[in-house]
Structure 1
Amino acid sequence: MLVAPASDLRKATKALESDADEVVLDLEDAVTPANKESARTAAVDLIGRYGDGRTASIRINGADSEWYTEDLAACATCGATLASVVVPKAQSATDLQRADAALGDSPTRLQALIETPVGVRDVGLLATATDRLDAFVIGYADLAAALGRRAAMRHDSWIVVQDAVLIAARAAGISAVDGPHLTIAADDDFRTAKTWVRDLGFDGTWVIHPAQLATATEIFTPDQASVDDARRVLDALAAGERSGAGAVELDGRMLDEALAVSARRILANAGQAL
């Protein structure tokens, strides 16, 4: 997911024309107060122009801001061309329920940024706040500031937060998305951090610069060997079920439903039909 400021037409258009799986047009952190209203108008216009052909979302301003209500009202007018609204600093079920109600009959979905201590503590309650919720995203910069941590701490120092978000997401059947690496380079630190969260079980990541897009896509897209193995696992289990076998063996592995769940996720992340 590539994030771009809606207030910068060049950057926003470049993002929408990129190979990102999803583009998030930002109305919050990347937009100055003087540009909030014009950024909102630009975001709606861009969604109208590009939303039919690609997955595009809008990150609105927070519920405690003066722009929140109008941001949601504008998003509600986009209809099916807007994939989702990203709610920043989500920390109560009410935050998400208010956004849900404001969208009315729109098919637009919700994503929640987990970037406050209360949001981390109550992430399980957020997960069940509304059926419109599709994903959690970790917001490291705001969370680090609230906790008094350095934002540039090692990737594995966030394991408690990462596990809390991942477990709540999996329990609710929604996606777990890593937050952006706070540099713009696709360097060794970026690759190590994103490989770490992929191996933890995260489904994808936000990136804040197009230079990181190819590396992120490579890391989170299952390779052909993994896809082929997932197919073989599901085929073997299906054959076993048809024959009435209580246990199925493949390449020295005893297969069960747990491996089937993993195989289905690999195929889904590879964009392949089950």
Structure 2
Amino acid sequence: MQNVAQPYRSVLYIPGSKPRALEKAQSLPVDAIIFDLEDAVSPDEKATARALLAETLRATDYGPRKRIVRVNGGDTEWGAADLETFIDVAPDAILLPKVEDTAVIADLAARLKGETTIWAMMETPRGILNAAALAAAPKMEGFVMGTNDLAKDLGSRGRRAMLTSLQLSLLAARAEGLICVDGVYNAFKDEDGLRMECEEGRDMGFDGKTLIHPAQVAVANAVFGPSEEELDLARRQIAAYEQAKADGQGVAVVDGKIVENLHVETATRLLAKADAIKLLEGA
């Protein structure tokens, strides 16, 4: 099941080949880092990046930030060595690109050490159509929407064309209690556009947003974190429902709206998320 003790509001891609970026990531207010060996690293840097990232993760404390390594695909000349290296390093999770069937997940799950889990990039039509099976595979913990690759394969333009793919992946993830984070927003200097897309992803139900630049972190953290108004309402809903139960009633009313047990469960999760964010930011 999803771990409420770990927020995923902001999930930042960091190139595994850039020492300065790897160092800077230690101080960024992100919830999770995807250390990327795939798209962000050129072919002639792949082997060097692998060695650099392995050494960095063994020696560097990234605090409470989730450490996710995106390896190259198994159909590439670098994929096998990436897996062999990072199975040994044992980061928090290994992120597999362009996942389409459960066989590759089962194979990796059988080889993992310690508490390392598996995440899957949902970025191909076949992967989206197989989302339910992928979510139920062993050691699976999260989905990452790869909207750029998906748009390329679909031949589509615009966010609207991907709503079905986003929703199918989210449904599959939630059915199995997985984390699910939205795709990137490419125009990293467009703060208004980023905020709008974050709000849309939040309202759809995503846990957070994958990001391509540190300048995007503040917006993602703000949008995917609970507001003071939401927290106040959650506290009042819980209090009103507890009072209703004490009075022998099955429902309560807050701000003119019915509050049932399902609303209390949502309110409780929201407060737990806020507490987790405070702990992470304090750390």
TM-score (norm 1): 0.90
Relative distance call for 1:168 and 1:268 in structure 2 (3 A) is farther
Q: Compute the displacement of 1:214 (Å).
A: 0.8
Number of corresponding residues: 266
Q: 1:143 and 2:150 equivalent? A: yes
- How far apart, CA to CA, are the structure 1 residues paired with 2:238 and 2:83? 42
Give 3-state SS (helix, strand or coil) of 2:211's partner: coil
Q: Compute the displacement of 1:170 (Å).
A: 1.2
Q: 2:261 aligns with which of 257, 260, 268?
A: 257
Contact preservation (8 Å) 1:227, 1:267: yes
- How far apart, CA to CA, are the structure 1 residues paired with 2:164 and 2:45? 36
1:113-152 alignment, distance < 5 Å: 113-130=121-138, 132-150=139-157
Q: Per chain length, whose mean CA-contact separation is higher, i.e. which structure has more relative contact order (CA < 8 Å, sep 6+)?
A: 2
Corresponding residue number in structure 2 for 1:39: 49
1:142-221 alignment, distance < 5 Å: 142-150=149-157, 153=158, 155-221=159-225
Q: Compute the displacement of 1:271 (Å).
A: 3.7
- Structure 2 unaligned runs (5+)? 1-10, 278-283
Amino acid at match of 2:122: I
- How far apart, CA to CA, are the structure 1 residues paired with 2:123 and 2:29? 27
Q: 1:54 aligns with which of 54, 57, 64?
A: 64
CA shift digits 1:230-274 (9 cap, x unpaired): 12223333444455432222332221232123223322432449x
Q: Compute the displacement of 1:219 (Å).
A: 0.9
Give 3-state SS (helix, strand or coil) of 1:85's partner: strand
Amino acid at match of 1:140: T
Q: 2:26 aligns with which of 16, 26, 31?
A: 16
- How far apart, CA to CA, are the structure 2 residues paired with 1:240 and 1:99? 50
- How far apart, CA to CA, are the structure 1 residues paired with 2:247 and 2:102? 47
1:49-128 alignment, distance < 5 Å: 49-51=59-61, 53-55=63-65, 56-79=67-90, 82-103=91-112, 105-128=113-136
Task: Answer with 254-263 or 161-170: which moved more.
Answer: 254-263
CA shift digits 1:75-133 (9 cap, x unpaired): 22223xx2211111111111221221221x32112211100000111101111011x22
Relative distance call for 1:90 and 1:238 in structure 2 (3 A) is farther
Amino acid at match of 1:3: Y
Relative distance call for 1:261 and 1:64 in structure 2 (3 A) is farther
Contact preservation (8 Å) 2:35, 2:69: yes
Give 3-state SS (helix, strand or coil) of 1:62's partner: coil
- How far apart, CA to CA, are the structure 2 residues paired with 1:51 and 1:122? 36
CA shift digits 1:45-90 (9 cap, x unpaired): 22123346232211111121222222122222223xx221111111
Q: What is the root-mean-square deviation in Å for CA atoms of aligned residues?
A: 1.9
- How far apart, CA to CA, are the structure 2 residues paired with 1:40 and 1:18? 22
- How far apart, CA to CA, are the structure 1 residues paired with 2:78 and 2:265? 42
- How far apart, CA to CA, are the structure 2 residues paired with 1:235 and 1:109? 37
Relative distance call for 1:51 and 1:128 in structure 2 (3 A) is farther
- Structure 1 unaligned runs (5+)? none
Amino acid at match of 1:146: D
- How far apart, CA to CA, are the structure 2 residues paired with 1:76 and 1:136? 19
- How far apart, CA to CA, are the structure 2 residues paired with 1:230 and 1:91? 39
Contact preservation (8 Å) 1:233, 1:250: yes
CA shift digits 1:163-221 (9 cap, x unpaired): 11111111111112001112222422211111111111111011000111111111111
Runs of 4 or more consecutive aligned structure 1 residues displaced over 6 Å after TM superposition: none
- How far apart, CA to CA, are the structure 2 residues paired with 1:57 and 1:24? 5
Contact preservation (8 Å) 1:186, 1:212: no
Relative distance call for 1:184 and 1:24 in structure 2 (3 A) is same
- How far apart, CA to CA, are the structure 1 residues paired with 2:235 and 2:178? 23
